[in-house]
Structure 1
Amino acid sequence: MATYNKKGFKPKTKAEKQHNIEEGSTTAEVFNTLDETASKTEAFVEKNQKFIFIIIGIVAVVVLGYLGYNEFIAKPKQVEAMNEMFQAQKYFEEAVNGVEKDSLYNLALNGGEGKYGMLDIVNEYDGTPAANLANYYAGTAYLRLKDYKNAVAYLSHFDSDDEILAPLAKGNIGDAFVQLNQPEDALDYYEEAAEMRDNTYTTPMYLFKAGTIALDLGQANKALDYFERIKNDYPDASEASNIEVFIGKAQVLSSK
C-alpha cells in the first residue's frame, strides 16, 4: 500500500528517517531512469527518423494498396465474374432438374450462347470467390458426366466454410473415388465429409456411405460405429429408415 506524508508530519525515529531517505532515493532513481529512457528514445528516433519514415511510408502504401485493390479491382472483378457465370449456373441447374443432362452439363462446363462456362470462369477470374465456386460446379458436372479424374481435380480446388457445400464437395470426391475403384480414398473423404459439419442432411448421408465402404473393406467395427451414430443421433434422417439391417450386418461381421 502506498504511504503519504501528511502536512507537518516529521519522522520521529531513526528508522522513519531512514525510510523517507530511501523512499526519496528510489523515487529519484525511477524518474532518472524514465528521463534516460526518454532521452535514448528521442536520440534513436532522431538518428533513424529517415528509416522510420520509410517504414511508415511502406506500411501506408501497402495498406492503401490493399484497400484500393479490394475496392477498385477485386470487387468489380468479382461482380463481373458472377455476371459471366450466370448462364453457366442456369445450364447446371437445368441439368440437375432436366432430361438432356449430359449436353446441359457440357454447356455448364464449356459455355453456350456466347457466354462463359465454368471452366472459363476458373481460368479468367482466378482468385475470386466466383472462380472458387466455379470449381465446385465444374467438379460436380464432371462427376455427373463420369469423368471422375477431372471431378476430383476441380472439387479439390474448391474451398468453403458453407454448411452444405463444404461437406458435399468432399463427399463428391469420395463418390468419384468409389467409381475409380479406390475405396480407401473414398472412405477417407466420406469420413472427412461426415465430420466437417453437424447437420441432418450431409452428416448422416456420409456416415452411411462411410459405413458401407468400411464394410466392403472389412472394417466392420468402424462401420458399426457409423451406423449406430445414425440410429442414435439422426433418427429422422432417411438413412435411418432401414439402419437396423446394416447394424445387424456389421454386428455379425465384427463378431467373426
Structure 2
Amino acid sequence: MDPIQATLLVAAGVATGAFNAVAGGGSLIAFSALIAAGIPPLTAKLTSTVAVFPGNVASVAGGYRDLPPRADVRRVLPAAVGGGVAGSVLLLVTPSRVFDAIVPFLVIAASAVLGLRGRLDGLARRSVLRHGREHPAALQVSVALGGVYGGYVGAGFGIVLVAGLALLQHEPLTRTIALKNLLSAVISFTAVVLFVLFGTVNWAGVAILAPATVVGGYVGARLLRRLPGGPLRAVVVAFGVVFGLFLLGRNVL
C-alpha cells in the first residue's frame, strides 16, 4: 500500500468515526475508501467490518447504563447471533465475482436506508409512545433479519435494528438505542470472528482504519455534534449513491 492510499484510508477512518458519532453510516465511507485503494470489494467489506468493530464496542460502553433488564437482553441475543452468523456465512460463500456484480446495488441500498433514517426514527418514536402489546415472535424475526443484513451488507444496519426494536416492543427510546448498540456489537463480533477465521482480511487496511475511526469518533462526539446531523448524513447518502452508480457503470463497461 503506497503513501497516497494510506493517507486516503486515514482520512476515511477519521470520517467514518466522525460520521458514526454524529449521523451514522460512516462504515460506507470506509468500505468505499478500501475499494478506491485497490482492495477487491469482498475483501474491502470484510476489512471494513473488522476495522469499525472497536467503535461498536465503544458505543455499548457509552450507553451501558441505559440497557434494558438482562432478561430482555438475553431474550433477543440468540436471534442477533443467529442472524449475524447467517449473513456473514452467506457473504463468505458468495463467489467474489457475484459479490462484485451486486456490490453497487448493496451500496445504493445502504444509502437508501441512511436516507430514510429520519422517517424510520420518527416511526420508531411514535411506536415507543404508543402503548400496546409486545410481539415476541415478530421481535425475534426482526432482530434475526437485522442480523442477516448486518452480517451481509453492514452499512446502516443499526438503523434497521432500532426501527424494528421500537416497533415491536414498548421501551423508552434510550433503552431501545442502548439495546441496538449492544446487538450491533454482537452481530459485528460474530461477523469479525467468521471473517478473520474464514475470509480474507487486509490487515494493513485494518491497522490504518481502526485507530483513525477511534480518533474520528472522539472528535465527532466532541465537535461535530454542534453541526446538524441531517446535512452530514445527506453528504454520506449522496456519496454512497454516486459511488454505487460509479461501480455499476464500471461493471457495465
TM-score normalised according to structure 1 size: 0.23
Q: Which has the larger radius of gyration?
A: 1
Higher relative contact order (CA 8 A, sep 6+): 2
Higher helix share: 2
